[in-house]
Structure formats: C-alpha cells, structure tokens
Amino acid sequence: MLALSANGVLPKVDYAIFADTGWEPRTVYAHLDRLEREVAAPAGIPILRVSAGNIRNDALNPERRFASMPLYIRNPDGKEGMTRRQCTGEYKIKPIKKKVRELLEYPYPQRIPKDVFVEQWVGISTDEFHRAKDSDVKYMRNRHPLIDLDWSRADCVRYLTSLGLADTPKSSCLGCPFHGNAQWRHIRDTSAVEWRDVVEFDAAIRKGNARANAEGNMLLGEAYLHRSRIPLDQAPIDHVTAAEQAALQDELADEQDAELGVLNGCSPWACRGEVEAAQGDFGLAA
Ligand code: SF4
C-alpha cells in the first residue's frame, strides 16, 4: 500500500506506521530501511516507527510486565493448551493508537471529539477479506484499499515484483509461535545467529515468562514455541506430511498452517483467532 500510494495508484497518505516489537528478522529491518529510502522518502511519506518495548527481552526480564505470546503448553496431566495472545495488542496496536492520538493532538487521556479521526489503511487482500474489520475506536476509521482495488495476494506479489521488491519478507517476530515448519526451516537454514536466538529463547520460556516466575505464578506445565511441544532444536521441522503438501496447494487451510504457519499471522486489526478478546483498548480509548 505504501508503494501504491507513493506511486500515485492510491492517494498519497500522510504517514506510514511500523509497529516494532523489537524482534523482527534482520531482513525485515533491512527491507523497511530500503522502503523508506527508495519508496517513502522520495514520495514525501514519513515512516513512523513506534514501539512498546522489546518482546523478547520483556519475556525474559523479571522486572518487565510481559504481554504473553501464544505459546504451546503441555500441562502436567499431559493435556495440551495455549497461552492467551496479548502480544499483538500490547506491542502493535497499543503503540499505533498512541501515535495516532499524538498525530491528532489528543494524547491520552484527552477525549477525542467525534468528528476528529484518521483514516487508517489496513493491507488486507481479497483472498483474506474475512479479516477486514472496523477499528475498535472512533478516532481510527479503517479502510481496506487492496480490497477496493480487488487485489489478491498474487496481484500484490506481481506489483512488488514489478518494482524490484519481489524479495519482500514477511513481517513477524522472529520467535513467533505461529511460524510453521517452512518458516522455522528458513530461519535455521539462512541465519545461524537468528536460529540460535530462537532456540535459546524457546529453552528460556520452558517454565513461562520471567516476571510471572518472579512473582511466584509459575507455569505448572511447560511452554514451547513449536506446535509439536518439543524443544525447537529437536522439533520435527523437516517433516512435511502429505497433508502439508496439499496445504501448499492451498487446499486445506488448517493443515496449511502446520506447514506455512498461520498465514494471516499477526497484523493489527487483522488478526484471526482469539486476539479480539485480548485486544481491548489498553486504556487508550476515546
Ligand atoms: S508476530 Fe507473533 S509473537 Fe509477535 S506480536 Fe504477533 S503474534 Fe505476538
């Protein structure tokens, strides 16, 4: 959408906002720098980088309040579960709202008049139109320009390729439990440093996050990044089942998640799954 706006296909936006969890792959930060240099700056579009902290460090720091990631849990009785996802709201939505309030010149806790709002573009394509949602605050009105253009994911890839941006990486936390085997393999096979980073993190959260432990709220079971609930460096990430092959052909959405991760992933205002309940407004409502 940034490129479409910069190139005049869509109207020019006032700002683009990147919510930084502090733990994106290096390729994402490099790509963002490139976009800023080659696309946004020449068009006069500022990219605002906002952050509520570093999700990796916060999970391991007993001094910091940590908004939980969706970790895979095995309970002492063998039953499996997941921790509640709060991270998207805390590390992405909350800092974006704070920035929008600043731009509107109504910082929290000021009340924002009804007729003061931003139009916020969310990059949902036609193949995921079910994820297009309204904002939960009146001072942000969501629009979905890719759907208005009737663009699918393939159309977006074609356009990016035509601009020399075919290598646009997928944005998500390096150790996001929503990764599928393909994403874990990609980290392992392309960056020894990042693979060590996620393997170490996986081992470090086995008993939950540091703050909860320091406060005596120990996790009774064990937490894992991989859906198999096996330590990441031993998890069966090379295993591609027949169902996963089928998923690659986009036939079985759930099985596709097993191989490719939750394709819809983590995107403010476009998350799937239980995030709505965890989203809230974090004290930033009008
Ligand atoms: S990418 Fe994953 S870990 Fe990071 S904020 Fe989103 S859901 Fe949480």
More confident call, 153 vs 246: 153
pLDDT value at residue 216: 85
User: What confidence tier does 285 reach under pLDDT thresholds 50, 70, 90?
Assistant: very low
Is the pLDDT score of 208 beyond 80?
yes
Q: For ligand 1, is residue 93 a contact (CB within 6 Å)?
A: no
Q: For ligand 1, is residue 172 a contact (CB within 6 Å)?
A: yes
Is the omega angle on the peptide bond into residue 25 within 30 degrees of 0, that is, cis?
no
Nearest CA to ligand 1 atom 4: 173
- The C-alpha atoms of residue 250 and residue 216 are separated, in whole angstroms, by 45
Atom in ligand 1 nearest the alpha carbon of residue 92: 5
User: What confidence tier does 244 reach under pLDDT thresholds 50, 70, 90?
Assistant: low
User: What confidence tier does 243 reach under pLDDT thresholds 50, 70, 90?
Assistant: low
Q: For ligand 1, is residue 88 a contact (CB within 6 Å)?
A: yes
pLDDT value at residue 262: 67
Rounded mean pLDDT, 227-256: 76
Greatest C-alpha distance within the chain = 58
pLDDT value at residue 218: 79
Find the 88 Cα to ligand 1 centroid distance in Å.
Answer: 6
Nearest CA to ligand 1 atom 2: 176
Is the pLDDT score of 271 beyond 80?
no
Sign of CA dihedral 73, 76, 77, 78: positive
For 230, which DSSP code? S
User: What confidence tier does 251 reach under pLDDT thresholds 50, 70, 90?
Assistant: very low
User: What confidence tier does 281 reach under pLDDT thresholds 50, 70, 90?
Assistant: very low
User: What confidence tier does 115 reach under pLDDT thresholds 50, 70, 90?
Assistant: very high
Rounded mean pLDDT, 87-91: 95
Task: Give the whole-number percent of the chain exceeding pLDDT 90.
Answer: 75
Q: For ligand 1, is residue 171 a contact (CB within 6 Å)?
A: no
pTM higher than the cut 0.75:
yes
Which two structure tokens, joined as six digits, stand for 146?
């890719």
The dihedral over CA atoms of 264, 103, 26, 68, expressed in degrees to the nearest 10, equals -60
Pocket test for ligand 1, best of 20, 55, 68, 69 (most atoms within 8 A of CB): 69
pLDDT value at residue 248: 66
Which two structure tokens, joined as six digits, stand for 267?
């995107």
More confident call, 265 vs 58: 58
Find the 23 Cα to ligand 1 centroid distance in Å.
Answer: 9
Burial 111-138 (b: 16+ CB within 10 A, else e): ebeeeebbebbbbbbbbbeebbeebebe
Q: What is the pLDDT of residues 209-235, one digit of tens each?
A: 888 888 888 788 999 999 999 999 999
Rounded mean pLDDT, 248-266: 61
Per domain, the residue ranges of the chain are: 2-277
pLDDT value at residue 132: 93
Q: For ligand 1, is residue 279 a contact (CB within 6 Å)?
A: no
